[in-house]
Amino acid sequence: MKQNKRSNCNLQGNETNLRDKIVISRKQYQIQRRKRSNKTSEHPHAFQDHFNKLLGGIRFADFPYMSIPTLTSTFVGGEMAIRRAMSGRTAVVGARSMSSWWRSVEPAPKDPILGVTEAFLADPNPDKVNVGVGAYRDDNGKPVVLECVREAERRIAGHLNMEYLPMGGSVKMVEETLKLAYGVNSELIKDKRIAAVQALSGTGACRLFADFQKRFRPDSQIYIPVPTWANHHNIWRDAHVPQKTYHYYHPESRGLDFAAMMDDIKNAPNGSFFLLHACAHNPTGVDPSEEQWREISHEFKVKGHFAFFDMAYQGFASGDPERDAKSIRIFLEDGHYFGIAQSYAKNMGLYGQRVGCLSVLCEDEKQAVAVKSQLQQLARPMYSNPPVHGALIVSTILSDPDLKKVWLKEVKVMADRIIGMRTALRGNLEKLGSPLSWQHITNQIGMFCYSGLTPEQVDRLTNEFHIYMTRNGRISMAGVTTGNVEYLATAIHEVTKSASTC
């Protein structure tokens, strides 16, 4: 009963009335109290409980730490403020109200990518195949720890103290990371024109940038390609940056819709923010050619747009991190100011270590110092400073030329295995006599194949063949092995053979 009362109460009251009510109520309460004998032992929340009757069931016993002005402004601030206030009260609220705290919380929808992993893990079938999340597997389907990482761990072992890193993370790791994106001999790095901080992998770098964008360009929006990595939408939504989209994929040709993309770039208001995938576009596996990147860069210059590169797969497209940085180098040549999110999840296999970097190219050192300090200030109340272990692994590998060589070789092995699996998957489908064209499997690059399978076909693959992938038809090629490629091809053939196109 009490719970219903609370949830029904109208909190959007008139501020003056409410304040008056509270003040009057306090006076009445004090008078009543004085009348009582000193012997009366009062419940510590008696004063706040007195308010309950006044304000339709809100239990002020829940807010004993609040002064009257705070109480007033909180409750006239609307339901959101109430929720905030209540969520901070976990420790002192009596058990009697606890069941009502989260009554209005509905289960969140399943994540379209990580939800697939959950469903896969719950399936007891021994033949199940997971080509959902983009996590690299060896040809036996096992997760891989790179040899360079193992060696770095051996070197670190016993030498690591557990002190906090600075708010901006490991300076050494950040420096090495910038070299990968901007070039080993970049003048910009030497001139200290890049504001850069260690980030919680690629996701954290994107989010930090989105928050930075909101804080310093509060009226801006972000242009996001169609389609894109699903989490991009969540990231900019939660940073309260309005989203627009731009054309990217052309379903009929299974390639880039370059003309429509260029139109969208031209038609966007001057000085717009654009999210670009630096290489190995997720989910389509379709990247602009070098020539197209040059045209994009030129148009960005004309329009004064800001490019934010998400570079989650450097090395995974071609097998060479240098080549995969081509888009960025083209923008550098053209003198842009841009931002980059970098991640070591995929190219160093450090998924769970959450190590990455956010960088923002600035006009001069002074500006870079200011921007970096603001990025740190954004990080401080969120997670204070980033974790140390993954950063140390990265800096150990990249600052030792021999170990770096081992890494480069291993990246190439991973990319090549994926390229080999593309050929095998296409070959198997053709061998089965599929009437459809599967050329796009080998044309696309990076971790994913945007197969063209419909959500219904994907559902059949899951329900009938225990093959798990995202419902947009994205296949993580990193999960395909010589052991399961035939099974995968047979199942795909089975669900597509009567379709005119896939």
Enter the DSSP assignment of 101: T
Enter the DSSP assignment of 137: B
Q: Any idea which residues carry the catalytic annotation?
A: 229, 310, 346
3-state secondary structure of 45: coil
3-state secondary structure of 143: strand
Nearer to ligand PLA, 198 or 203 (CB): 203
Nearer to ligand PLA, 229 or 236 (CB): 229
**Torsion over CA: 7, 12, 18, 21 (sign):** negative
Nearer to ligand PLA, 22 or 375 (CB): 375
Nearer to ligand PLA, 310 or 410 (CB): 310
Say how far apart CA 497 and CA 21 lie, in whole Å: 72
Residues forming the site for ligand PLA (CB under 6 A): 113, 133-134, 201-203, 229, 231, 277, 282, 310, 312, 343, 345, 351, 356
Say how far apart CA 37 and CA 132 lie, in whole Å: 71
Q: What angle, 0 to 180 degrees and rounded to 10, lies between the N-to-C axes of helices 15-35 and 46-54?
A: 130
Nearer to ligand PLA, 18 or 210 (CB): 210
Query: Which amino acid, residue 252?
Result: E
Say how far apart CA 237 and CA 222 lie, in whole Å: 10
Tell me the CA distances in angstroms from 35 to 28, 29, 85, one per residue in order. Answer: 11, 10, 33
State the Cα angle at 283 between 282 and 289, rounded to 5°.
60
**Torsion over CA: 10, 12, 17, 23 (sign):** positive
Backbone angles phi and psi of 151, in degrees to 5 = -65, -45
